């Protein structure tokens, strides 16, 4: 399940069996915004002005223009599941998924183009790093991927050749990008600095 938080106590959550839930009281109560169905929704993007995009299994997508009151179903031209979606502004967005799938839109989601990511590794998260002016993608096997605003210059690599951990979250900060998943660490752009696990006290 993934949760996205908006202003004034509003939050959305997506998950298995078509879970698409909304809270308007800081998470105290949740209401389902779509009927239960045999589909996993993996992520959503809140664009403001009632615009919401949801991505899920087998290239399925949902779009709402009225803050979740009604939904339009979309099918991306991919068979792989989409795992994450983000927008850098109301028009330009990126969705990523299994088997290295990357989809780009420049018209607010009216059309989506398949982008050659150069990798076949599963991609689990995408975020726009406004300070550095590029997209950041987290994936399996220690993969990182960066793309410029127009998604024409894509670069990728491994956080550490000795670390094949998967990461499902990326968080850009002033000091670098934090990746979280099988482990947690900071990627400076040149060096991977994993956070050590706390030492387990010996059994008495």
Count CA atoms closer than 13 A to 6's CA, side-chain side.
19
Domain annotation covers residue 88: yes
Quick one: average pLDDT of 24-53? Answer: 96
Residue 104's domain is classified under what CATH number? 2.130.10.10
Domain annotation covers residue 166: yes
Quick one: average pLDDT of 140-156? Answer: 97
Domain annotation covers residue 50: yes
Confidence of residue 200 (pLDDT cuts 50, 70, 90): very low
- What percent of the chain has a predicted confidence (pLDDT) above 70? 96
Q: What is the arrangement of strands in the sheet containing 184-187, beginning at the earlier edge strand? A: 167-173, 176-181, 184-187, 192-194
Q: Model pTM?
A: 0.93
Quick one: average pLDDT of 101-130? Answer: 98
Domain annotation covers residue 201: no
Model confidence at 162: pLDDT above 80:
yes
- Name the residue range of residue 33's domain: 2-194
Model confidence at 204: pLDDT above 90:
no
**Beta carbons of 77 and 60 less than 8 angstroms apart:** no
Domain annotation covers residue 199: no
> In the 8-state DSSP scheme, what is residue 70?
S
Query: What CA–CA distance (Å, rounded) separates 83 from 139?
Result: 10
Secondary structure class of 136 (helix, strand, coil): strand
> Can you give the pLDDT at residue 197?
62
Domain annotation covers residue 42: yes
Domain annotation covers residue 131: yes
Model confidence at 202: pLDDT above 50:
no
**β strands within 49-122, DSSP E:** 51-56, 60-64, 72-75, 82-87, 93-97, 102-105, 113-115
Domain annotation covers residue 38: yes
Domain count, the chain: 1
Q: Which residues contact 43 (CB under 8 A, 6 or more apart)?
A: 2, 4, 14, 54, 55, 82, 83, 84, 85
As beta bridge partners, residue 161 has none
């Amino acid at each position: 399940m993934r949760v996205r938080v908006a202003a004034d106590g509003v939050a959305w959550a997506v998950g298995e069996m078509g879970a698409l839930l909304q809270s308007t009281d800081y998470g105290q109560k949740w209401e389902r915004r779509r009927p239960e169905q045999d589909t996993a929704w993996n992520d959503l993007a809140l664009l403001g002005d009632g615009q919401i995009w949801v991505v899920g299994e087998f290239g399925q997508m949902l779009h709402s223009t009225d803050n979740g009151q009604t939904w339009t179903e979309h099918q991306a031209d991919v068979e792989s599941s989409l795992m994450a979606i983000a927008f850098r502004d109301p028009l330009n967005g990126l969705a990523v998924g299994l088997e290295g799938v990357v989809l780009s839109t420049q018209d607010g989601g009216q059309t989506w183009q398949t982008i050659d990511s150069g990798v076949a590794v599963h991609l689990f998260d995408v975020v726009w790093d406004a300070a550095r002016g590029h997209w950041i993608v987290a994936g399996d096997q220690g993969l990182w991927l960066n793309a410029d605003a127009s998604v024409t210059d894509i670069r990728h690599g491994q956080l550490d050749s000795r670390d094949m951990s998967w990461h499902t979250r990326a968080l850009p900060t002033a000091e670098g990008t934090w990746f979280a998943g099988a482990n947690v660490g900071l990627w400076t752009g040149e060096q991977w600095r994993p956070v050590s696990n706390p030492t387990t006290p010996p059994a008495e």
